[in-house]
Amino acid sequence: MTVSLKDPGPQPDSYDPDWVRAKHAFERAKRLRTDAVDQFIEVTAEFSHYADDPYTDYVERDPLSDEVEVLIVGAGLGSLLAAVRLRQAGFDDIRIVDKAGDVGGTWYWNRYPGAQCDIESYIYMPLLEELDYIPSRRYAFGPEIRKHCIAIAEHFDLYDNALFQTAVTGMTWDEPARKWSVRTDRGDTITSTIVLVSPGPLSRPKLPGIPGINEFEGHTFHTSRWDYSYTGGDESGELTGLSDKVVGIIGTGATSLQCVPHLGRWAEKLYVFQRTPAAVDTRGDHPTDPEWAANLQPGWQRERMENFTRMTAGAGADVDLVNDGWTQVSDELTAPAVMRELERRGGNMTMEEIGDFLFEEDYKSMEKVRDRISSIVADPETAEKLKPWYKRLCKRLSFHDAYLQTFNRDNVELVDTDGKGLDRLTTDGVVVGGVEYKVDALVFATGFEVGTSYTRRSGFDIVGRNGTRLSDKWDKGPRTFHGLQSHDFPNCFFLGYTQTGIAHNYVHTAEERARHLTYILTEWRNRGGTLVEADQEAEDQWVQTMTESTEMGKQFFVDCTPSYLDSEGDTGNPDSLLSAGYGGGPVAFFEILEKWRAAGTLDGVTIA
């Protein structure tokens, strides 16, 4: 069918797939921009203060010149898990380096009021059994997660050798020594046999490239660098400093949903500037039931984590252990739903019929979201503006039980930009549709860099064998074997979304990766190696596998509303998340790794 980019008019009374497709296309067209990820401003030069650390005072120290066995760049959950698994395997000489003032990564930086994990804490907070800890609630708040990260680092002695407030500025492979030379912004020169690079998939704040962004004279900050010296209060709210302030927040993504209720409660006036509405569903958070916790059997966390990933990857499972919005929506909109429908129709459906079936199920799912908005938001005009029109899985699922209610407050106003974004900033405020909204402060809830090059997001380049630069080798996207290693970069492991299995629960991806690299390094040590490297041929094959396997996922996104998931509609971007995740899904990817380890032959990896 042909898709019209004209407004298809009011919603018909009954389901009309042509109308829905036309509506999706119409809304998508408004948002689509030719500059894709280039529409955002990098937080360098005159914008670099947006990335400054407001949480820890800077401490001077002398430069170091020493040697370690394993150096890990980054101290977020991915790094901590890798460090712990290596420690448990007997690697003692580990150093973590991070530009933050402490461990935690995402949870170090994101201290905005209301910050909360959006994956159940029982499977998101790692190493619960090892630390004998049960989160206080189903979706833990930021401070509890940060405290848990600290507890992990303390429990496994990861602070001993760590360097905080230290940014790696480069690393170079020394072929004769078979070691890396790592440089930092503190003047350190550290020699390391093994390096793990874990800059975090969503760690670098980004700003919208709005005309006049430098002209605004009021107060501004990014949500991942919350300025409590201005707002007052802390992560639990009490933003008393805003009681006489008009505040604007730009963005309505996962972060905004969590902090808008607090801004609405405390600001004299709050404008929420929206480009694309979020599909906000019920969260259903609650304190942990002590009786449930007391009855958990050893191995419960791994079982629950694997079950969640199976459910949300459409791989199905006999029982839904987590049973929350994530698993329910996945069950309704992916393979298990098709299997049920196939059975109902006696086992016969063409690919087109399957596509039509899933499209209708998606519509029903989104109708529930839209109906929920109407039932909560009192003003019908505001409710209409808050209604999303795209396929549910086009954006990361979102859940919150206080966001929509905030629009019923007299001091809160939704400013919908009808998909176009803000016109510009002035010295006093924000212009949308030619109307100026004067504000004292502007909060950028505009997310993090995704879809730019790996080395740009890491903030440094890596120089491998024969002077090969990672930025050159990966100029058309990552080239790895199993997402972890790249030829000509021996003894170096990448812990990012670099051609790996991406589970909705980031911690599950990190856990499987940590297990895999620990296996490889244990073999390397047991075989007396000084070098461990991916073979060129194995890498080429994996790149080919990734290219082929990601094709279907990219097809799903061609009619999606743009977002960071598809590099703002640029599905061909080689650095896109769509190219980064194994297309067969995380369950199949983890099985590939497991089989590879079970074979014990290290096919594709040279140890010398």
> Taking CB under 6 A as the rule, which mask of x and - marks residues 9-38 in contact with ligand NDP?
----------------------x-------
> Taking CB under 6 A as the rule, which mask of x and - marks residues 533-572 in contact with ligand NDP?
------------------------------xx--------
> Taking CB under 6 A as the rule, which mask of x and - marks residues 270-309 in contact with ligand NDP?
---x-xx---------------------------------
Residues 435-494 that bind ligand NDP (CB under 6 A): 445-448
Rank residues 417 and 458 by Cβ distance to ligand NDP and give the closer one. 417
* Rounded Cα–Cα distance for residues 174 and 473 (Å): 18
* Rounded Cα–Cα distance for residues 341 and 339 (Å): 5
Torsion-angle region of 261 (φ positive above 0: left; ψ -120 to 50: alpha; else: beta) = alpha
Rank residues 331 and 449 by Cβ distance to ligand NDP and give the closer one. 449
Question: What is the b/e burial string over 252-281, where b = at least 16 CB atoms within 10 angstroms of the residue's CB?
Answer: bbbbbbbbbbbbbbbbebbbbbbbbbbbbb
Rank residues 74 and 490 by Cβ distance to ligand NDP and give the closer one. 74
SS3 339: helix
Rank residues 83 and 213 by Cβ distance to ligand NDP and give the closer one. 213
Tell me the C-alpha to C-alpha distance, in Å, between residue 425 and each of 248, 249, 401, 447, 476: 11, 13, 31, 19, 35
User: What's at 360, amino acid-wise?
Assistant: E
Strands, E, within 310-359: which ranges? Answer: none
SS3 281: strand
In the complex, the smallest distance separating the C-beta of residue 270 from ligand NDP, rounded to whole angstroms, is 15
Tell me the C-alpha to C-alpha distance, in Å, between residue 402 and each of 107, 112, 398: 22, 16, 12
In the complex, the smallest distance separating the C-beta of residue 50 from ligand NDP, rounded to whole angstroms, is 13
In the complex, the smallest distance separating the C-beta of residue 565 from ligand NDP, rounded to whole angstroms, is 8
Rank residues 216 and 448 by Cβ distance to ligand NDP and give the closer one. 448
Residues 386-445 that bind ligand NDP (CB under 6 A): 396, 417, 421-422, 445
Rank residues 296 and 431 by Cβ distance to ligand NDP and give the closer one. 431
Rank residues 33 and 456 by Cβ distance to ligand NDP and give the closer one. 33
Rank residues 280 and 376 by Cβ distance to ligand NDP and give the closer one. 280
DSSP state of 296: P
Cβ-based neighbour number of residue 282 at 10 Å: 14
Rank residues 208 and 586 by Cβ distance to ligand NDP and give the closer one. 208
Rank residues 138 and 479 by Cβ distance to ligand NDP and give the closer one. 138
Q: Where are the alpha helices (DSSP H) in 417-535?
A: 454-458, 470-473, 506-526
> Taking CB under 6 A as the rule, which mask of x and - marks residues 203-232 in contact with ligand NDP?
-----x-x----------------------
Torsion-angle region of 431 (φ positive above 0: left; ψ -120 to 50: alpha; else: beta) = beta
**62 exposed, middle or buried (CB, 10 Å; 0-12, 13-18, 19+)?**
exposed
In the complex, the smallest distance separating the C-beta of residue 465 from ligand NDP, rounded to whole angstroms, is 35
Number of residues that bind ligand NDP (CB under 6 A): 28
> Taking CB under 6 A as the rule, which mask of x and - marks residues 99-138 in contact with ligand NDP?
-----------------xxx--------------------
CA 520 to chain centre: 26
Residues 238-267 that bind ligand NDP (CB under 6 A): 250-256, 258
Say if CB 604 and CB 536 are below 8 A apart. no
Picking from 502, 446, 529, the residue whose alpha carbon sits closest to that of residue 47 is 446
In the complex, the smallest distance separating the C-beta of residue 135 from ligand NDP, rounded to whole angstroms, is 13
In the complex, the smallest distance separating the C-beta of residue 16 from ligand NDP, rounded to whole angstroms, is 26
* Rounded Cα–Cα distance for residues 377 and 466 (Å): 62
* Rounded Cα–Cα distance for residues 325 and 398 (Å): 9
Q: Which residues bind ligand NDP (CB under 6 A)?
A: 31, 116-118, 202, 208, 210, 250-256, 258, 273, 275-276, 396, 417, 421-422, 445-448, 563-564
